[in-house]
Amino acid sequence: MMTDKLTNATRGRPPRNPKETDESKKNIVNAAKKLFATEGYAGVSMRKIAVLAECSPAFLYKLFPSKRHLLLNLWEEIFAQLFVEMMECYQSVDAGERIRTLCLAYVDFWLAHPDDYRSIFLIEDRPQHDDEDYFVDSSLVLQQFDLFKVILVQAQQDGEIGPGDPDVIQNILFCAVQGLIFNLITIPEYAWGDKDVIKQTLIRSVLCGLR
């Protein structure tokens, strides 16, 4: 009887330590990002993510109760990385160059991480229950974008940008750069030419129009 108890106690995988759990979580997030980018959100199951991440479905559900929880984690992780780079850029350039430089940095980030872009912007966020919010409302993403608004208000005070609602001006900039990023990432077969010339010229033209 004692032998049976000892045998049962040693069956199964031993509990993961914190380092192993963090590594497994990283593998899960990377697997989900890859699958979402290549197969779309609807075409990916939690089981498929578990297989690619080399973990059990039970462990996956323990970390992320649903596919939408996993997608929200991707949102927060990717945008956190983006705004670390944006803040570094903000702190390294003079005030007069901040708007143009941050727009370029924003474009360059997504061009350097096309799978991240697809996971964020090519998947429609759909709350599953009445008590759930959209990701943009439930995360800190919108608050982080206030960095742009701060720079725009300062540029208006310095006469670099014309008068107007900073929210409207910010949205104009986003529409311009998002359209640029979308085309360059999702239509790679088109002969765009020198991408650096395109992004520099577009951003300069938009900013000139806002003076």
Contact between 19 and 27 (Cβ < 8 Å)? no
Task: Domain of residue 48: give its range.
Answer: 1-65
DSSP-assigned letters across all residues of 172-211: HHHHHHHHHHHHHHH-TTS----HHHHHHHHHHHHHHHT-
Residues 111 and 200 in one domain: yes
Residue 1's pLDDT band, with cuts at 50, 70 and 90, is very low
What are the Cα distances from residue 201, in Å, to 97, 100, 108, 116, 151?
15, 11, 14, 25, 20
Residue 134 scores a pLDDT above 60: no
Count of beta carbons in the 10 Å neighbourhood of residue 189: 6
Residues 45 and 121 in one domain: no
CATH code of the domain containing 143: 1.10.357.10
Instruction: Report the distance separating Cα 208 and Cα 33, nearest Å.
Output: 37
pLDDT at 140: 65
| Digit-coded pLDDT (tens) for 54-66 | 999 999 999 998 8
One-letter amino acid at 66 equals S
pLDDT at 80: 86
| Digit-coded pLDDT (tens) for 191-204 | 999 999 999 999 99
Q: Tell me which of 53-67, 83-97, 117-131, 186-200 is least confident.
A: 117-131
More confident residue, 98 or 137: 98
Average pLDDT over residues 95-103: 88
pLDDT at 76: 82
- Compute the residue count for the chain: 211
CATH code of the domain containing 19: 1.10.10.60
